[in-house]
């Protein structure tokens, strides 16, 4: 058990720092992924539109890629005794930086400012992770993780709602010329509200030190790698939600053959979120080990069967694929979060990397998928094959993890 001398707040809170962190992570990612066409035109005006969109998708994803370096950044802030109050203020500052770019600057300077903003927001959202601090959430650990994921999804919904609104208010020409800043302004306003909330509300202890500074254990690379391999299927819900953010423009930019497969509809996401809630309860009834085995077993059977049948591609078959990914993503997120709960009192350095390494992988996969959908025909039955390979990798990871333990 990890003991900390950190001072705890007397009163428990429902909406914890972890919830704020997950909300802003979803909000940030969804806003910028939905604005990629306008951002690419603004920063890469002389590039081919599709090539510029691929580059911009990669730049937007830098906020996820950089989070694994959060542990190294902690040492830089240690001597300044950075509190959550300070980090929440830095998040606000980082959200304002993209708004500073303008047509009076050289295009290369604007691009450097934007890249710096994406890297900075990723670092500070990583530092704001509740793993690095004592928690005073009144929600039980049983439900805390799934609640945080739902809050992450709420951030995505709010971001896409506002992006849709501004897309209706402004023309594409206006958004290309810099009006894309208005949806981004939403992030700045909400992050400023967050800063004032935790400053005013005395139930938030603002004097927390980094728990992780007190941990003497070293990072166990074999454990982290085998753990990530066992739960590699967590990539599925992250890809699913990212594709939903990209659905605002990607179907029109992809090859005509990929238009339907690249479009994740709202009904699929709603089904996914409802399934996530119910899967959490099913998990408690069935048990951790049985649920993991059933998840792998039925997933392998269905995905292998669908790949082997190679049914004719139609709107029905693609809809079935989307619903299959939705329900399997919901169970994947529940299994992953439930398992993380069992390691809350272990080496937090390992746990921090376990949670953020999938985000690192996703940051590379998102631009790759955008590129592939734009220039290559995707046969939907091969997606079932990829899912089967993910589940097989998970089985291998489970065997390796049992030996590492």
Q: List all residues 6 or more positions away from 118 whose beta carbon is below 8 Å from its beta carbon.
A: 32, 59, 60, 62, 63
The pLDDT of residue 294 is above 80: yes
Distance between CA atoms of 137 and 144, rounded to whole angstroms? 8
CATH 1.20.1250.20 fits 12-214, yes or no: yes
From residue 232, how far is each of 336, 389, 397 by CA, in Å? 9, 10, 8
The pTM (predicted TM-score) of the whole model is 0.87
* pLDDT above 90 (res 375): yes
pLDDT in tens, 169-220: 999 999 999 999 999 998 899 989 888 877 776 655 544 445 455 445 566 7
Q: What mean pLDDT is predicted for residues 282-307?
A: 85
Distance CA 103, CA 177 (A): 9
Residues 311, 321: contact at Cβ < 8 Å? no
Query: Where are the domains positioned within the chain?
Result: 12-214, 217-405
405 burial type by CB count under 10 A (0-12 exposed, 13-18 middle, 19+ buried): exposed
- Look at residue 8 in the predicted model and tell me its pLDDT: 44
Encoded tokens for 189 = 């306003």
The burial class, CB within 10 Å (0-12 / 13-18 / 19+), for 370 is buried
């Amino acid at each position: 058990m990890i003991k900390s001398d950190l001072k705890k707040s007397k009163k428990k809170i429902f909406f914890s720092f972890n919830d704020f962190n997950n909300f802003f992570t979803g909000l940030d990612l969804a806003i910028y992924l939905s604005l990629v066409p306008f951002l690419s035109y603004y920063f890469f005006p002389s590039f081919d539109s599709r090539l510029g969109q691929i580059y911009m998708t990669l730049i937007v994803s830098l906020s996820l890629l950089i989070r694994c370096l959060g542990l190294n950044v902690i040492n830089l802030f240690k001597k300044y005794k950075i509190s959550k109050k300070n980090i929440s203020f830095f998040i606000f500052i980082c959200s304002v930086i993209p708004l500073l770019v303008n047509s009076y600057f050289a295009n290369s300077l604007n691009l450097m400012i934007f890249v710096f903003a994406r890297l900075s927001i990723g670092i500070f959202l990583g530092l704001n992770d509740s793993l690095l601090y004592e928690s005073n959430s009144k929600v039980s650990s049983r439900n805390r993780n799934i609640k945080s994921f739902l809050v992450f999804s709420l951030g995505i919904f709010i971001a896409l709602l506002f992006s849709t609104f501004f897309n209706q208010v402004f023309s594409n020409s206006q958004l290309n010329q810099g009006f894309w800043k208005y949806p981004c302004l939403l992030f700045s306003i909400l992050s400023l509200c967050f800063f004032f909330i935790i400053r005013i509300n005395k139930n938030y202890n603002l004097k927390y030190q980094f728990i992780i500074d007190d941990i003497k254990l070293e990072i166990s690379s074999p454990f982290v790698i085998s753990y990530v391999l066992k739960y590699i299927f967590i990539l599925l819900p992250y890809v699913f939600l990212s594709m939903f953010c990209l659905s605002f423009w990607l179907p029109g930019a992809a090859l005509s053959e990929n238009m339907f497969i690249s479009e994740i509809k709202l009904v699929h996401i709603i089904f996914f979120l409802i399934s996530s809630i119910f899967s959490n309860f099913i998990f408690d009834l069935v048990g951790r080990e049985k649920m993991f085995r059933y998840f792998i077993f039925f997933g392998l059977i269905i995905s292998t069967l669908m790949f082997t049948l190679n049914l004719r591609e139609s709107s029905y078959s693609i809809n079935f694929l989307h619903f299959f990914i939705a329900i399997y993503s919901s169970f994947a997120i529940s299994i992953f979060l439930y398992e993380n709960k069992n390691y809350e009192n272990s080496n937090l350095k390992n746990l921090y990397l376990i949670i953020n390494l999938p985000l690192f992988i996703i940051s590379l996969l998102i631009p790759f998928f955008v590129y592939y959908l734009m220039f290559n025909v995707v046969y939907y039955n091969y997606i079932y094959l990829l899912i089967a390979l993910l589940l097989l990798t998970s089985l291998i990871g489970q065997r390796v993890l049992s030996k590492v333990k």
